[in-house]
Structure 1
Amino acid sequence: MELQQLRPAGDYRAVGQNDTVTPENGTCSDHSTPRETENGSFLQDVQVDGGGRENCDENDSNSDDAELQQSGLRREFSRMKKELGKDVVCHLKLWMLIVAVLIIVVIVIVLSVSLCKVHHEDEDETYDRSTFMVPRFFSGNFNISNLTSMPEEEAIRLLERKVVDVYNSSFALTRYFSSAELTLLRRDMVEFQLQFLMPEEHGQLERYTLSREMVYSVLFQRLVEQDSTDPLYIYPLSLYMQVRK
């Protein structure tokens, strides 16, 4: 043991009045400070520990949800795989039938598009006009608006062009139409003669395509559609037509 020298009473007062804490004397000037410090550090430790516990709980919850989703997806994938692997017809799997149906649909679409692009030649559109030698004539007349400011020759020329355009624009009659001749009888009446050419076998043409009703209807329909302000306006109801032998 080490013996220490005792200090006088005055030294004890000096020590009591000294507020400085030193390692030698082992005293503390303020006893409440350690308590507050200890309490503060304890509260801080509790708060830090609590916040960390909440973060950990939240992370654990998120990871659990992710694992549940992944497990659900795995179960769903396994169920679909099992369903697709079932035998349906003649030991054919369901996925085989689905693939086969898709292939058939694609083939049908490709074939449809290809067939639409192929130009089919219509036999009705192929004809030799030079073989049309048998004439068929129609004659008639119609009334027009009274000519006052146009020469007769110019009026006849414009009317002939109008009638020719009617039959040249007709899909059924244009191949047979030959000519149209118009004559001005008076200032408000015009007489016309139409000529069509037919092939030698023309029995069906005379009965249907080049019948009086067909030729008349084509011209009448165009007269109905004409502009009423035309100076060469033709009155549709005044149209008369007959087959000339």
Structure 2
Amino acid sequence: MILYPAIDLKDGQAVRLVHGDMEQTTVFNDNPAAQALSFVDAGCEWLHLVDLNGAFEGEPVNAAPVEAILSQTNVPAQLGGGIRDMATIERWLDKGLARVILGTVAVENPDLVRQAARAFPGKVAVGLDARNGFVATRGWAEETDIQVVDLAKKFEDAGIAAIIYTDIMRDGAMKGPNIDATAALARAVDIPVIASGGVSSMADLTALKDTGVISGAISGRALYDGAIDLSAALAALKS
């Protein structure tokens, strides 16, 4: 199971939110590239980046810090937030991003997801963000009546690289991930599923790994707060 350290970008800074609320922001580093380098130095194999402003505005906002991270690190990175058309997908991949994460458009324009996955094999993931099992879009500000598993199944034959499943009510709350829902999703589809939201301890990582069906986990606040030692966690997950 791959551990993805998370760098959430708001107004050019590395931050964490609680339950996706832009008003509940904690700034952890005003130099996101330096933060990324510290994760790389600890041994991470991937980076997970989110343009929070972009998720709300529907277009990239934090391009400068993302580009700085890409230019200064040597591990693959995936990015979500504000990526809603093919031109933006192409632009990010041309800049060296390993994988784009499509969230809102997976609901509003699923054909774009399929088109992108065909055009860029292995480089397109779908972000499914859920509140009480139902998908939320546009920076989690809008709720739908679409259940996570139902939407995921629609992309079974699309060739997407992964699904990032975030339980919004767990995100940033340090209360543990929704293991049951994440594992149920992973068992319902053949697409690799990455857990996100609430991953706050080594015990959480072990529990996710022990399901045998979850391919990755994203953690942010726990790494910044020191609740998870990144180097130790990476070593433990490889053993």
TM-score by length of 1: 0.18
More helix by proportion, 1 or 2? 1
Greater Rg by CA: 1
The structure in which a higher percent of residues are strand is 2
